[in-house]
Amino acid sequence: MLLGISALVFVSMRLIPGDPALIYAGDQATGDLVAKIRIDLGLDRPLVTQYVIFLRRAIEGDLGVSIRTGQPVTAELMRRYPLTLLLAAAAILFSVVVGLPLGILAAVHRGRWVDKTSVAITLLGVSAPTFLVGIVLQLALAVKLGWLPVTGSTSWLHLLLPAVSLGVFPVANITRLLRASLLEVFGEDFVRTARAKGLPERLVVIRHALKPALIPTVTIIGLQFGAMLGASVFAEAVFAWPGVGRYLVQAIGYRDYPVVQGAVLMLALTYVAVNAAVDVTYGRLDPRVR
């Protein structure tokens, strides 16, 4: 998967109009200077050769040097990567803390006002784009009310708005999926047996029904964490959060091939690792998987 992603990004960047050597040299540069820069950057070599060199260096941990700044890409990404991970983790934490109780309440009170309210919230969360949620929260809570800072990353307060704007979409998915899973599990024999024994409904839900219902929910949480890494581009741009996403957006504008390739490869590696961890978690939740 990582090999396919690296090839796709490598080819896609070179299909975008614009010459990075010309951007680096400036509009007033002569043709000889642009040609020299292309040679220095290795852009004069065949695409296959460039790709093989990129792969070999990436395996060694060397993602090249930024065309725009001249700084090592690996060092710059490692400096920004923890901030992106922190933002994605905070967004997932928010979505789990809000989504799990909503899903449980919606399933237990099926057809009642709690269920209908949760459905309305999920529809709103799925429909609202991340950047729009971020701008609305920014205007309402930061600009109008002054409760939270508008942009920056110097304190935990700066994390709240971008994390909530990122977490709205996963809340909707987690709520919907957990509700559907619980309703399906409620019809299983072991749940009916637990109720027949006279156990309180709270214990039936928490001890017996929730674990098997969480298996598809854990899957969606893992997938949403990967999606948060990609969606962080919008949140980081809106809130000036200095993570990998904002760095990636700046690099695309300058046709900075090494930065774009390195950033996407790092985010893809994280996505694959998270999904592997989700597979391992299945066995912890369901003895049948073990």
Mean pLDDT by 10 residues, the chain (290 residues): 85 76 68 76 80 86 81 88 88 88 84 79 75 82 80 78 85 85 81 77 75 80 78 80 84 81 86 80 68
Token couple for 269: 């590696």
The 3-class secondary structure across the chain, one letter per residue, is: CHHHHHHHHHHHHHHCCCCHHHHHHCCCCCHHHHHHHHHHHCCCCCHHHHHHHHHHHHHCCCCCECCCCCCEHHHHHHHHHHHHHHHHHHHHHHHHHHHHHHHHHHHHCCCCHHHHHHHHHHHHHHHCCHHHHHHHHHHHHHHHCCCCCCCCCCCCHHHHHHHHHHHHHHHHHHHHHHHHHHHHHCCCHHHHHHHHCCCCHHHHHHHHHHHHHHHHHHHHHHHHHHHHHHHHHHHHHHHCCCCHHHHHHHHHHCCCHHHHHHHHHHHHHHHHHHHHHHHHHHHHHCCCCC
pLDDT at 24: 67
In the block, tokens 């760095």 appear at 247
Q: Where do the domains of the chain lie, and which CATH numbers do they carry?
A: 2-59 (no CATH), 82-253 (1.10.3720.10)
| Residues 138-186 pLDDT 10s | 888 888 877 878 777 777 788 888 888 888 888 888 888 888 888 888 8
Contact 215, 284 (CB under 8 A): no
| Bridge partners for 72 per DSSP | 65
pLDDT at 214: 81
| Bridge partners for 22 per DSSP | none
Measure the CA–CA gap between 181 and 144, rounded to whole angstroms.
40
Nearest to 229 by CA among 175, 270, 279, 276: 270
pLDDT at 174: 86
